[in-house]
């Protein structure tokens, strides 16, 4: 499951990079057509990329919430559950400690 999460997040990063390239290409085209001043192009790219990154963060948060809900629904033990059980076993095996 952890590997699936890593792949999903990597996909989101890849989409952001691809989107940045497309944004830069579209803005360059606007500059070539004279619809945008070259001095304004970098700022426009920066603003659009920032908006895309903000959207990506929202997407990541939504994905985390969905995965957390799914794991709870499937009743899969969390790291904290396993650590608590390990401590309990340690106490049972070594009652004098």
Convert the pLDDT of each residue in 2-48 to its tens digit: 555 455 555 555 555 557 778 788 888 888 888 878 888 888 888 88
pTM above 0.85, yes or no: no
Q: How is 51-94 classified by DSSP, letter by letter?
A: HHHHHHHHHHHHHHHHHHHHHHHTTPPPHHHHHHHHHHHHHHH-
Where in the chain are the domains? Answer: 2-93
pLDDT score at 1: 45
- The pLDDT mean for the chain works out to 79
Q: pLDDT tens-digit profile of 44-64?
A: 888 887 877 777 788 888 888
State the pLDDT at residue 90: 95
């Amino acid at each position: 499951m952890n590997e699936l999460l890593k792949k999903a997040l990597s996909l989101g990063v890849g989409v952001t990079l691809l989107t940045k390239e497309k944004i830069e290409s579209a803005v360059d085209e606007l500059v070539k057509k004279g619809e945008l001043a070259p001095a304004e192009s970098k700022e426009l790219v920066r603003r659009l990329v920032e908006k895309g990154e903000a959207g990506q963060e929202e997407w990541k948060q939504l994905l985390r919430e969905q995965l957390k809900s799914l794991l709870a629904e499937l009743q899969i033990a969390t790291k904290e559950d396993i650590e608590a059980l390990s401590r309990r076993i340690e106490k049972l095996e070594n009652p004098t400690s």
